[in-house]
Structure 1
């Protein structure tokens, strides 16, 4: 874990009370998996997508730390849940053979997908890049969450303030305003972690 991230994560994941606690009851909406779910999880697939084993350079794009908790509808943590994320690289290309740009212009220094296991307090973290738009989609990151005894959840995280959010059919397919708001994350300066990086908090609430 990057120096300083542990402290930021601990503060971000502190227990919540009052109105903040009530927000945890808004269940994270399910969304489409999309056509580019990773088919190859061999090799480097940890929670740092910016560095790939065997690659000298780090990924193109603005480094972004995504932290949060996985909770049940009452706000209790769900330790041991597994999280997978996947997203396109800084040029808009997925690490997937069905993406037409795969062999031409993908960033070989970007891992493209990663995994983390939720800790005892419900916390998780990823080091990735700020998601970018590509034709037809606003910037987003795909999430898949599995936990024993619960239905798997596939959802997407979006970036607050992106102009294309208003036109994105997948995002606006979430009819419940509170659920739609729950997957839109404000990215703040993460200079306390790494210079010129960003930090976003995305809590995930599972049903059941």
Structure 2
């Protein structure tokens, strides 16, 4: 797929996300549950840290794994879009290994997988990434780490899981979210378009209240 075609797909996903309507004053969306940062957040960000994780600057190949377009919107509890939110994701490669010095497993590295990406939301709160469908590794269900940072609002660190993955039942972090609705909010469905092509998945993120003045959160 050419870079211009990839760019068109990434831009097109911005208009296909949900949560498009503001809620009545009395209604509130369920806040996305926080999850552990984990040990593999990059110590040093890669030189190529855009929102296309399957194509690395200086590399000619494409990452191993099932390529997908992961998109969604960042909104507040009233359903209003949150603009200028920095959305960061990181995940293991298709073999179950992170680009991190503390991952000492013998699983292969993938020089064509960026492993980390970031995107700043626009006025619609939308974000989009081209990455791979996450895979399981020993002790963990397939997941993608998220960090969302917005000025004057408490930052959110969470994880997104694959709906229907067999490993979900045994994942301690996912099971620690006791409320069924909150746990379901961490699941994303990966689907292939009827016309074929790369997978699509949507994961909407609901942030909590604005941080109190002088809290130092941002």
The CA deviation at 1:14 is 6.6
Output the TM-score relative to the length of structure 2: 0.87
CA contact (8 A) 1:191 1:198 kept: no
CA-to-aligned-CA distance 1:145-177 (integer Å, 9 cap, x gap): 000101111000000110111111110100111
Q: Indicate whether 1:105 and 2:108 are aligned.
A: yes
**For the residues of structure 2 that align with 1:14 and 1:31, how far apart are their CA atoms?**
22
Match of 2:90 in 1: 86
Q: Report the 3-state secondary structure (helix = DSSP H, G, I; strand = E; otherwise coil) of the residue aligned with 1:178.
A: helix
Larger radius of gyration: 2
Q: 2:162 aligns with which of 159, 167, 170?
A: 159
Q: Indicate whether 1:150 and 2:156 are aligned.
A: no
Q: Report the 3-state secondary structure (helix = DSSP H, G, I; strand = E; otherwise coil) of the residue aligned with 2:58.
A: coil
Output the TM-score relative to the length of structure 1: 0.91
The CA deviation at 1:13 is 4.3
Match of 1:207 in 2: 208
CA-to-aligned-CA distance 1:85-123 (integer Å, 9 cap, x gap): 000000000010000138x72101100000000111000
Q: Report the 3-state secondary structure (helix = DSSP H, G, I; strand = E; otherwise coil) of the residue aligned with 2:8.
A: coil
**For the residues of structure 2 that align with 1:63 and 1:110, how far apart are their CA atoms?**
11
Q: Indicate whether 1:70 and 2:74 are aligned.
A: yes
CA contact (8 A) 1:85 1:113 kept: yes
CA contact (8 A) 2:88 2:117 kept: yes
The CA deviation at 1:8 is 3.5
Q: Report the 3-state secondary structure (helix = DSSP H, G, I; strand = E; otherwise coil) of the residue aligned with 2:16.
A: helix
Q: CA RMSD in A?
A: 2.0
More divergent stretch after superposition (8-17 vs 81-90): 8-17
Structure 2: give runs of 5+ residues left out of the alignment: 1-5, 210-218
Instruction: Give the 5 Å matches for 1:107-186.
Output: 107-186=110-189
Match of 2:62 in 1: 58
**For the residues of structure 2 that align with 1:137 and 1:121, how far apart are their CA atoms?**
33
Structure 1: give runs of 5+ residues left out of the alignment: none
